[in-house]
A and B are shown apart, each in its own frame.
Chain A
Amino acid sequence: MPVLTVREALQQALHEAMADERTFIIGEDIGHYGSTYGVTAGFLEKYGPERIRDAPIAEAGIVGLAVGAAMAGMRPIAEIMSVNFSLLAFDMIINHAAKIYSMFGGKFSVPLVMRTTNGWTQLSATHSQTFDSMFAHIPGLKVVAPATPADMKGLFRAAMADPDPVIFIEHTLMYGIKGEVPDGDYIVPIGKSVLAREGRHITVVTYSRMVHLSLQAADILAKEGIEVEIVDLRTLRPLDMSIALESFKKTNRAVVVTEDWQSYGTSAEIATRLYEQGFDYLDAPIQRVNFREVPMPYAKNLEQQVVVTTDRIVAAIKKVLNRS
């Protein structure tokens, strides 16, 4: 299988999506600027300004127009450069994209894919946040956050084929990550988690970039004889806990790693599901590893203490295993 970066896998998926005449991309600096993270580089030249629509800096408009166009038979891709900016489009996402199907009695749907990015690197308080739980909180949305190049491509295909609004969460620190991507047509279905690594002592439940950090943590712990099983959720809504629960029933211990604030975050939901559905299998309190709960500081030394690191994951796993 060819080895691609996340960026290359996404580019392939987007080119495939553009093969559908109904598809256009609307977003900030996707064309003339050359694409902030390089994903749509060259697209304007190839598809023209009708279909690669450089939008004003107006996030509600970007998503709102995409929602309307999707209702009327197009298959738009709305790109919100940074998830921090998506707050300006939340009315469109939550009050409209997520509601239209049920509010109008299922008479029409919103086949929209909204790409956006989590990420941080000394960007300070308003450019380093993640709102995974806010999207995943909303019935009517489907929310995916893939971790690997193969899943990026496969889930993007699934998102484009889906008649419902899909929030497709990428990560600025993941575009260069490499991985094998299957040749030919394949699809990674929305709502299916996957085992990222087998182990028998403890279950780590995670998704997106945290899968990679958890894998690093598992490598470190393997040298100490601790075998970590890692579950990559891939989709946050609908949340498929079947594999995580299966693993948890085997290991009886779990750590949930998510790159957001702990209170009311995705890890709260994931851990609750483990408690609710796996209570009788619980052998130790579930530990969570997340952002420390402060607005992200700019100073590097402080930022490093806020974000999730491999060391913190290792420490959490050891704590749950009562190892020092």
Chain B
Amino acid sequence: MQKRRGATQAEVPAASSLRSTMTSTPFSRARDQLGDAQLVELYRQMMLIRRFEEKCQEMYTRAKIGGFLHLYVGEEATGVGAISNLQSQDHIFTHYRDHGHAIARGLNIDELMAELFGKDTGTSHGMGGSMHFADITKNFWGGYAIVGSHLLLAAGVALACQMQKTNGVVMVFFGDGATNGGEFYESLNFAQLWKLPVVFVCENNLYAMGTPIEVHSSVKEIYRKASAFDMKAMRIDGNDVLTVREQVAEAVEYARSGQGPVLVEAMTYRFRGHSAQDTQKYRSKEDVEQHRSNDPVLIFRKELIDAGVSSAADIDALDAVIDEQVEASVRFADESPVPGNEWLTDSGIYAAPLATATVDPDLV
């Protein structure tokens, strides 16, 4: 192999150093910077994702939700921490495991649940489902289901930001499994070549669907793949929301300043299977249980209470509100109408439908 580029390596902290033993911790720095209310807000987002998805699982088994259901449970700290750095003019692209990013970006969970239920009130009028949440009023460009493909779209939006001089940054999420295909390398090359404002966030949950990283990638440390492009990269603890927030903030600032893209590798773990019907033969129950004992949501909850940011009673009350919101989203979705058949016509396919587009209006 070629000699690795030192510049890239030097900027990447070792994973072991991420949980700093310094007196100043990510928690203390975040508390100073954000204030207690914002810390609780981060917790609220994580717990909302958790409860929403647990409800999704229930609704899936009740056959209210069809198709695939890829849950983000266990990875909430990465999405919430990273997205907390974005401003309104910034953009998000994500993959098919998109519930967490959508909720962290503030999409309306009523509309999200309705989308899952295949209802007209869904974020995509029931045309997309679980894998395709989107809301451009929040520059949330959607979940994409072809692994690695959306990195190029993200680079394209970044190119638009650069040409339009919007000062916007594009954050794009993908998994470790997405880093072996050509689209990953093409997007990194384009982004670094043209200094596009992209923050590539790789959520390394150790499995490409059900294939362990040792089996699918010649390089186990994904962030090192950036070295081929002289691109800034970092590997971070994706299970600690405040570490994620702090480290990704640096990447976002770097991209926004016009210096170019950054590859962030966030180490995390998915508690549930790849999708709802995953039998998880590729990992042991013990492994999963061990990771669950370090649940990022529960750990952060405990940190907030222990540090006196919030009382246990207040957190319980907040959880109850979240539960009620999730229940309400189910009621909303249940009561919503299904999309109309106009989605099966040209007007559902084209922004500018043409009269001759229909092959046969009386198609049997």
| Minimum Cβ distance to chain B for residue A27 (Å) | 13
Q: Which residues of B contact A55 (CB under 8 A)?
A: 190
Per the 8 Å Cβ criterion, residues 124-170 of B in contact with A are 124-128, 132, 134-136, 141-142, 144, 146, 149-161, 163-164
Which of A60, A92, A105, A140: most chain B CB closer than 10 A?
A105
Q: Judge whether A131 is part of the interface by a CB distance below 8 angstroms.
A: no
A190 beta carbon closer than 8 Å to chain B: yes
- Please, which residues of chain B bring their CB within 8 A of the CB of A56? 186, 189-190, 193
Which of B72-80, B301-309, B344-352 lies on the face that meets chain A? B344-352
At the interface with chain B, which of A68-76, A119-127, A180-188?
A68-76
Which residue of A68, A70, A102 contacts B155 across the interface (Cβ within 8 Å)? A68
Does B13 make an interface contact (CB < 8 A)? no
Residues in B with CB closer than 8 Å to A237 are 357
- Chain A 209-243, CB-CB to B under 8 Å as 1, else 0, gives 00000000000000000000000000101111110
Is B152 a contact of A104 with CB atoms below 8 Å?
no
Complex: A242 Cα to B108 Cα, angstroms: 46
Let me know if A105 and B349 touch, CB within 8 A. no
Which B-chain residue is minimally distant from A240 (CB atoms)? B356
Question: Which of B91, B150, B348 contacts A72, CB < 8 Å?
Answer: B91
CA distance A163 to B187 in the complex (A): 25
Chain B interface, >50% SS class: helix
Question: With the chains together, A140 CA to B85 CA distance in Å?
Answer: 35
Supposing A65-B190, A71-B156 touch, asked if A106 and B183 sit within 8 A by C-beta, the answer is no
State whether B156 touches A64 (Cβ < 8 A): yes
Q: Beyond A71-B141, A164-B350, A191-B356, is A104–B134 a contact (Cβ under 8 Å)?
A: yes
**Bound-complex Cα distance A95 to B149 (A):** 9
| Residues of the B chain whose Cβ atoms lie less than 8 Å from the Cβ of A69 | 156-157, 159-160, 163
B204 at the interface (CB under 8 A from A): no
Interface residue? A107 (CB, 8 A): yes
Asked if B128 and A105 sit within 8 Å, CB to CB, the answer is yes
Which one, A68, A164, A235, contacts B160 given CB within 8 A?
A68
Report the bound CA distance from A218 to B189 in whole Å. Answer: 51
Q: Which residues of chain A have C-beta atoms less than 8 A from B348's C-beta? A: 102, 106
CB neighbors of B among A43-60 (8 A) = 50, 53, 55-56, 58, 60
**Nearest-CB distance from A217 to chain B (Å)?**
27
A183 to B234, CA, bound (A): 57
Chain B residues with CB below 8 A from A107, complex form = 123-124, 134-136
Given A58-B186, A91-B149, check contact A73 B164 (CB 8 Å).
Answer: yes
List B contacts of A239 (CB < 8 A): 356, 359
The answer, yes or no, to whether A285 is at the interface (CB within 8 Å) is no
Inter-chain contact A164/B153, CB cutoff 8 Å: no
**In chain A, what residue has the closest Cβ to B93?**
A68
CA gap between A180 and B317 in the complex, in Å: 76
How far does the alpha carbon of A66 sit from the alpha carbon of B153 in the complex, in Å?
Answer: 8
Q: Assess whether A103 is in contact with B163, with CB atoms less than 8 Å apart.
A: no
Which of B142, B150, B155, B156 counts the most A-chain CB atoms under 10 A from its CB? B156
| Interface: A61 (CB within 8 A) | yes
Q: Give every chain A residue within 8 A of B355 (Cβ-Cβ).
A: 191, 238
Name the distance in Å between B139's Cβ and chain A's nearest Cβ: 9
Cβ 8 A contact of A65, one of B152, B161, B343: B152
Q: Are B142 and A105 within 8 A (Cβ)?
A: no
Neighbour of B189 across the interface among A58, A100, A111, CB < 8 A: A58
- Are the CB atoms of A61 and B160 closer together than 8 Å? no
Give Cα A104–Cα B307 distance, bound, in whole angstroms. 42
Minimal beta-carbon separation of B182 from chain A (angstroms): 6
- Give A60 to B152 CA distance when docked, in angstroms: 8
Nearest residue in B to A89 (C-beta to C-beta)?
Answer: B152
**Which of chain B's residues 177-216 have a Cβ closer than 8 Å to chain A?**
182-183, 186-187, 189-190, 193-194
In the complex, whether B354 has a CB less than 8 A from a CB of chain A is yes
- Judge if A96 is at the interface, Cβ distance under 8 Å: yes
* A246 to B346 Cα, complex, angstroms: 24
Contacts A92-B149, A164-B351; A67 near B124 (Cβ below 8 A):
no
Q: Does B175 contact A (CB under 8 A)?
A: no
Alpha-carbon separation in the docked complex, A260 to B159 (Å): 36
Q: A72-B157, A104-B128 are in contact. Are A64 and B351 (CB under 8 A)?
A: no
Q: For the complex formed, measure the closest distance between the CB of A155 and the CB atoms of chain B, giving whole angstroms.
A: 13
Task: Indicate if B261 sits at the interface (CB-CB under 8 A).
Answer: no
Docked complex Cα distance between A66 and B155 (Å): 9
Residues of A within 8 A of B238 (CB): none
Determine if A106 and B351 form an interchain contact, defined as CB atoms under 8 angstroms apart: yes
Q: Within the assembled complex, what's the spacing in Å between the Cα atoms of A58 and B186?
A: 7
Pair A65/B155 contact, Cβ less than 8 Å: yes
Complex A-B: 7 CB contacts under 8 Å: A60-B152, A60-B182, A68-B159, A73-B164, A103-B124, A104-B134, A111-B351
Q: A68-B159, A72-B164, A74-B163 are in contact. List 18 more A-B contacts (CB 8 A).
A: A24-B163, A64-B149, A64-B155, A67-B153, A68-B156, A69-B156, A69-B163, A72-B91, A73-B160, A74-B160, A96-B149, A101-B350, A103-B142, A104-B134, A238-B354, A238-B356, A239-B356, A239-B359
